[in-house]
Amino acid sequence: MYQEKRKRIILDMLNNQDSISIQEIVEKCNVSEITARRDLALLASKNLVIRTHGGAVKSKTIDNLFNYDLKVNQNAEEKTAICKRASEFISNKDVIFIDCGTTLIHLTKFITKFDSLTVITNSLPVVSELINYTKIKLIIIGGEAISERKAIYGTVAERSISQYHADKAFIGATGVSVLKGLTSSDENESAITLKMAENSNQVFLLCDSSKIQRDSFVQFAPLSKINYLITDEGIDQTLIDTFIEHNINIIIA
């Protein structure tokens, strides 16, 4: 079993229980104790778990990884400003992907003004916000609905996205850095995000400055995959210069 999958299993287990033992990881993932301890050490280095004698306990960070309602209100002012700026790149008759991240839900506030727009999404909150606007053609990606993420994932969803091509994709990420590119805390989520990016003419990454130069444990796309990075004014000027040097159009909301 690949390390990324093991880490996901460990986090899933800790999302459902407060602690986990080395032996539970060994049995669930079919690995040695040395491998289980190495996986926990890596997760602890990212503040996702707290090591204990013989295992680990849940850190507060895990709740934020899985709970949409907690995340959506974090940095809400910055997220709204970012999405307002992003909406300026949308034109009538565009076909757009909207990702399921908690930043992207704020984009719905600014696109209902268009006379004709096609939105393709796997985000259930986005669907809820746009369902009553008749001038927006809403295409919902099929697949497995995950309640804590309020989104649709899985291989069926990935195949569904591949059937469409968009003018623009508006995506999110847990972190973005020059070294690691785009990273996520969820491999299922990152697979959907990557599919949207691959099937679009232009890709806009929307993320607040707290995610800049931050890496999570699923590395899913290089910086070259995006055309624009839209963030808030909290980003340091030296980082702006660094991203520009890597041919990323960076826009400050």
Q: How many other CB atoms are there within 10 angstroms of residue 246's CB atom?
A: 12
Fold category of 69-252 in CATH:
Rossmann fold (3.40.50)
Query: Is pLDDT above 60 for 63?
Result: no
Query: Is pLDDT above 80 for 109?
Result: yes
b/e burial code for range 55-75 (CB count within 10 A of at least 16 → b): bbebbeebeebbebeebbeeb
Whole-number pLDDT of residue 42 = 87
Whole-number pLDDT of residue 67 = 57
Residues 13-35 have a mean pLDDT of 88
Contacts of 29 (CB under 8 A, 6+ apart): 1, 6, 9, 10, 35, 36, 39
Query: Is pLDDT above 80 for 16?
Result: no
Q: Can 3-65 and 69-252 be said to share one CATH topology? A: no
Bridge pairing between strands 166-171 and 200-206: parallel
CB 32 within 8 A of CB 152: no
Q: Which helix (H) or strand (E) holds 143?
A: none
Q: How far is CA 221 from the centre of its chain?
A: 12
Whole-number pLDDT of residue 60 = 63
- In the chain, where the domains are located: 3-65, 69-252
64 vs 253, residue with greater confidence: 253
List, in sequence order, every beta strand (DSSP E) within 107-245. Answer: 117-121, 136-140, 144-146, 151-153, 166-171, 175-177, 181-184, 200-206, 218-221, 228-231
pTM of the predicted model, to two decimals? 0.77
Whole-number pLDDT of residue 61 = 62
Residues 183-194 have a mean pLDDT of 90
Mean pLDDT of the chain: 89
pLDDT digits (tens, 9 = 90+) for 121-141: 999 999 999 999 999 999 999
Domain with residues 3-65, CATH architecture: Orthogonal Bundle (1.10)
Q: Which residue do the tokens 């020059």 mark?
A: 178
List, in sequence order, every beta strand (DSSP E) within 151-223. Answer: 151-153, 166-171, 175-177, 181-184, 200-206, 218-221
pLDDT digits (tens, 9 = 90+) for 143-166: 999 887 889 999 999 999 999 999
Phi, psi of 249 (to 5 degrees): -75, 110
Whole-number pLDDT of residue 79 = 92
